[in-house]
Amino acid sequence: MTALLEVQGLQKRFPMGGGGMLPCRRAAPSFLHAVEDVSFTLRAGETLGLVGESGCGKSTLARLLARLLDPTEGSIRLGGQEIGAIPAKRFGAIPATRPGAMPSTRPGAMPPRAAIQMVFQDAEGSINPRHTAFEAIARPLRQLSRLSGAELRTRVERTAALCGLPAELLGRFPHQLSGGQKARVGIARAVATEPALLVLDEPTSALDVSVQVVILDLLRSLQARTGAAYVFVSHDLNVVRLLCDRVLVMYLGRVVEEGAAETLFAAPAHPYTRALVGAVSVPGRRKGEERVRLSGEPRSPIDPDPQACRFHGRCPIGQDLCARAAPPVHELPGGRRVACHFPLTAGAMAAA
Amino acid sequence: MTDAAALAPAATARAAPPRVPVLDVAGLSVQFRTRSGTVHALDEVSLQVHRGECLGVVGESGSGKSVTAYAVMRLLDPAARITAGRITFGGMDILAASEREMADLRGRELSMIFQNPRAALNPIRQVGMQIADVLVRHGGVTRAEAPARAAALLAEVGIPDPVRRAKAYPFELSGGMCQRVGIALALACRPALLIADEPTTGLDVTTQAVIMDLVLGLARARGMATVLITHDLGLASEYCDRTAVMHAGHVVEAAPAADLFAAPRHPYTAKLIAATPQPGRALSDLAAIPGGLPDLRRGDLPACRFLDRCERAEPGCAVPPLPRHLSEDGRMVACRHPL
Ligand SMILES: Nc1ncnc2c1ncn2[C@@H]1O[C@H](COP(=O)(O)OP(=O)(O)O)[C@@H](O)[C@H]1O
Ligand SMILES: Nc1ncnc2c1ncn2[C@@H]1O[C@H](COP(=O)(O)OP(=O)(O)O)[C@@H](O)[C@H]1O
Ligand SMILES: [Mg+2]
Ligand SMILES: [Mg+2]
C-alpha cells in the first residue's frame, strides 16, 4: 500500500534579520534552523505523533505539512503529488473543481486546500471572535468546497453533530462557548471539508483533563469514520501514547528517534527520548524514584554547528565524538530509526 | 464551619504536642462583585500547611486555586470581598494586617511564584539587579554586597555562569531560566512559606522535573512550607506530602498524597484520576467528567457544588450544610456519600 504522505529532506530556516545590534558583525547572514532534514511517511488512517520540547520545531513542521508555510528545501508528496513546491499563498487559493467535490489525493489531481486541514492549540485565538460557530464551520465549506444555501446548512449541521456540538450552539459566538465547545468548533471547522490529512497542533493542551478525554475520543471516532491520517503534535507524552501509532521525537529541529509508539516509550533508543519519557509525572508514583534529569540548556538553533550532535552538552552519555561529528542514523527492526552515536539499542532491540 | 480547621494532623496531633501550622486558612469565603452578579468564588475553604511540608492544591480551572493563593498574599482584586473566615500565618492575622505589614511580610516571609515567569519579572531591569533590590529592601543586605549575593542565589537555582547571567534581561532568557530567576527572587529572603501557582505549566516536561526538584529540594533543606498549585495530578502526587482537591470553590477532599491517589473518597477526586492519561492506560480506560463547574453567580448554589456531575447524588446533597468529614487517618472529605 502506498503512503498518503511522503516527506523527504524537509527543511525550514528562518533568516535572522541584520546583525547591527550584535557586538561583532558577521559576514554571512544568520539562519535559525527550525526544521532540518526531516523525512517520514504516513499512511491513510494512521496517526503520527510529534513530540519534543518547546522550540524544537513541532509547530513549524506542522505548518509546513499543512502548507501554511513554505519549506526552504525538501519535498512533501500527498497522494503521490508534489505539493511542497507550491507557494503556500497559491496552495490556499486552489478551489474545488465542482461544488461539493471531495478533495482528491489521486496521483495527477491537484489536491486542493481542503485535503489538508489544521487544528490549532488556541481554539480561542484561531476562531474569529465576530463569527458564530456556524460561520466558523461554514467558511471553509463555502470557500473550498463551494457549497451554499441549504446544502451548506445541512453540511455544517451534520459536521457539528459529528463533533458533538448541539445545533442550538451554532448561533453562539466564541466568548459564549466553553473551552471544550470551542475546541469542538476548531475541530469541526477542520474536518468539515473531509480532509485526507489533519494536522493537529496541541489540540488539547489548553483543556482541563475533565474535557480532554472527550476531545481525544472525538478525534479517534472521526478518524475511524473518515479514514483520515493525523499528524498529532503534543508535548504531553501521556496524551501522545493514547492516540498515536508512531512517534517522531524532535530535538532542535531534527528527528532524533522514530518508532512505533508503544516500543518507543517502553524502550527509548535515544538518550533524549529516555529523558523525555522519564520526566513524565505519573499519579501515584513513589516519591524519590530515580529519574533521568537533563542538566544544562539547549544549544542555540541559530547557525548550529553541522559537525556536532545538537543534543551534545545536555546529553547524559555524550562523548568527545559527539562534539566532532553529526550522529549517524541507525535503522532498527520494526521501522525504528535513531540518530545517535551511542544509541541505547540493547533495550530497543529487545522491545522491537 | 470550623470542624475542618484542625484538618491536617487530626489523629497524630492529639497525642503529640500540637504542631502549629505555618499557614492556617480556616473557613475562608470570598466573593467577587461583578456587573453580571456576585461570584461565590470560595466557600468555607480550609487548608493548613506545616513547616517543611508541601501541600498540593489541585482541581480544574476555575475551581478557586488562584483566588485562595491571592487571598493569602492579600493580593485579591478590589472587587473581591472576604465574607467569612480567618487566615493565620506564623501566628499573625493576615486579614487584619496593615498594608505596610503585608508589604513587609510579602518580601520576607511569604513568597509566591507565578505561572508566567516572564510576567513576574521587570522586563527592563537586569535579573541580577532585581534580586539585589529584594535583598537590599527586605534582606538587610547592603548595596555593595547585593550583586555577589544575587549571583550566589542564581547559582543556587542552577543557573550556569551566574555572574554573567545576572546581567541578562528577562527577554534574553528561556522560559525555564526565567522561572529559575523567579524562584531565586521568591527565595531570596528565605521565606517561611512559598506559594507556587502552576510554576511549571508552560514549561517542558524535562524542565518541569528539574524545576520541581529544585523548589522541593530547597524547601526541604530550609524547612520551608510550600503550597504547590497545579492542575496536574501526577505532579501533585509525586512532589507533595498532602493534597487538597478543589472543585467550584470548595475543598472537596484533603489527604496524604499517596492515600488520595490510591483510594480517593470524594467522587470528584475519583473522576479526576480516572480522566488523567497515564502510562498503561488506553483511551478507552479513561472517562471524561460530565458537565462543567456550576455558574458561581447563581444565588441558589446547592450545598454540594458537584451535585449535577455526580452519579451518587441524591436530593439531600443539595441541602446545607455541606458535611466535612474528618477521619482518624488525617483525611477530610466533603461529601454525604463518599466512596
Ligand atoms: N516566523 C518565525 N521566524 C523566526 N523564527 C521562528 C519563526 N517561527 C518559529 N521560529 C523559531 O523556530 C524554532 C521552532 O519553533 P516552533 O516550531 O514554534 O517550535 P515548537 O512548536 O516545537 O515549540 C524556534 O526557535 C522558534 O523561535
Ligand atoms: N477578579 C475577579 N472577578 C470576578 N471573578 C473572579 C475574579 N477572579 C477570579 N474569579 C472567579 O473565581 C473563580 C475561581 O478562579 P481561580 O481561583 O482563578 O481559579 P483557578 O482554580 O483556575 O486558579 C472563577 O469562577 C473565576 O471566574
Ligand atoms: Mg508549538
Ligand atoms: Mg489559577
**What pLDDT does residue A1 have?**
56
**Is residue A191 pLDDT above 50, yes or no?**
yes
| Percent of residues, chain A, with pLDDT higher than 70 | 87
Q: Which residues of A touch B160 (CB under 8 A)?
A: 296-297
Q: Which residues of A touch B262 (CB under 8 A)?
A: 284
Task: Say whether residue B209 is in contact with chain A using an 8 A CB cutoff.
Answer: yes
Fold observed for domain B23-109+223-333: Rossmann fold (3.40.50)
- CB nearest A210 (choices: B204, B282, B289): B289
Beta strand extents in B94-142 (DSSP E only): 110-113
Minimum distance, in Å, between the CA of residue B125 and any CA atom of chain A: 19
Identify the burial level of B206 via C-beta atoms within 10 angstroms of its C-beta, where 0-12 means exposed, 13-18 middle and 19 or more buried: buried
**Is residue A109 pLDDT above 70, yes or no?**
no
* pTM check: above 0.95: no
Strands across the sheet containing B92-93: B37-49, B23-34, B80-89, B92-93
* pLDDT tens digits along A234-278: 988 999 999 999 999 999 999 999 999 999 999 999 999 999 998
Q: Which residue has the cell 529559575?
A: B180
Atom 12 in ligand 1: residue holding the nearest Cα: A34
A214 to B175: CB separation less than 8 angstroms, yes or no: no
**What pLDDT does residue A124 have?**
72
Cis status of the peptide bond prior to B321, with omega within 30 of 0:
yes
**Is residue A111 pLDDT above 90, yes or no?**
no
C-alpha B268/C-alpha B306 separation (Å) is 7
B278 to A283: CB separation less than 8 angstroms, yes or no: yes
Q: Once rounded to an integer, what is the mean pLDDT over residues A170-177?
A: 92
**Is residue A210 pLDDT above 80, yes or no?**
yes
Q: How far lies A76's CA from each of A42, A79, A249, A335, in Å? A: 11, 10, 19, 20
- Confirm or reject: Cβ of A74 under 6 Å from ligand 1: no
- Confirm or reject: Cβ of A33 under 6 Å from ligand 1: no
ipTM of the shown complex: 0.84
**What pLDDT does residue B13 have?**
42
Task: Say whether residue B282 is in contact with chain A using an 8 A CB cutoff.
Answer: yes
C-alpha B14/C-alpha A220 separation (Å) is 53
Pick from A210, A236, A300 the residue to mutate for testing the B interface (most B CBs within 10 Å): A210
Task: Say whether residue B308 is in contact with chain A using an 8 A CB cutoff.
Answer: no
Q: Once rounded to an integer, what is the mean pLDDT over residues A152-162?
A: 94
Closest by Cα among B219, B178, B218, B159 to A295: B159
Determine the residue of chain B that is closest to A289 in CA distance: B238
Q: If DSSP codes are grouped into helix, strand and coil, which group holds residue B164? A: helix
- Confirm or reject: Cβ of B327 under 6 Å from ligand 2: no
Atom 3 in ligand 2: residue holding the nearest Cα: B32
Identify the burial level of A288 via C-beta atoms within 10 angstroms of its C-beta, where 0-12 means exposed, 13-18 middle and 19 or more buried: exposed
**Is residue A346 pLDDT above 50, yes or no?**
yes
B283 to A285: CB separation less than 8 angstroms, yes or no: no
B190 Ramachandran zone, left/alpha/beta (phi>0; psi -120 to 50): left
Three cell numbers written together for B42: 470560595
Cα-to-centroid distance, A304 and ligand 1 (Å): 15
Cβ of A69: how many Cβ atoms within 10 Å?
Answer: 18
Task: Say whether residue B288 is in contact with chain A using an 8 A CB cutoff.
Answer: yes
Atom 27 in ligand 2: residue holding the nearest Cα: B62
**Is residue A48 pLDDT above 70, yes or no?**
yes
pLDDT of chain B along its 339 residues, tens only? 444 444 444 444 445 556 799 999 999 999 999 998 999 999 999 999 999 999 999 999 999 999 999 999 999 999 999 999 999 999 999 999 999 999 999 988 999 998 888 888 999 999 999 999 999 998 889 999 999 999 999 988 888 789 998 999 998 888 888 888 998 999 888 899 999 999 887 778 888 888 888 888 888 888 999 999 998 898 899 899 999 999 999 999 999 999 999 999 999 999 999 999 988 899 999 999 988 899 999 989 999 999 999 999 999 999 999 999 999 899 999 999 999
Ligand 2 probe mutation, B39, B115, B227, most atoms within 8 A of CB: B39
Cα-to-centroid distance, A120 and ligand 3 (Å): 9
- Confirm or reject: Cβ of B41 under 6 Å from ligand 2: yes
Break chain A into its structural domains and give their ranges.
123-192, 249-351
Q: Which ligand is closest to the CA of A60, given by its number?
A: 1
- Confirm or reject: Cβ of B114 under 6 Å from ligand 2: no
**What pLDDT does residue A105 have?**
53
Q: What is the dihedral of CA A189, A195, A199, A202, to 10 degrees?
A: 30
B234 to A265: CB separation less than 8 angstroms, yes or no: no
Break chain B into its structural domains and give their ranges.
23-109+223-333
Q: Residue A300 — pLDDT band, cuts 50, 70, 90?
A: confident
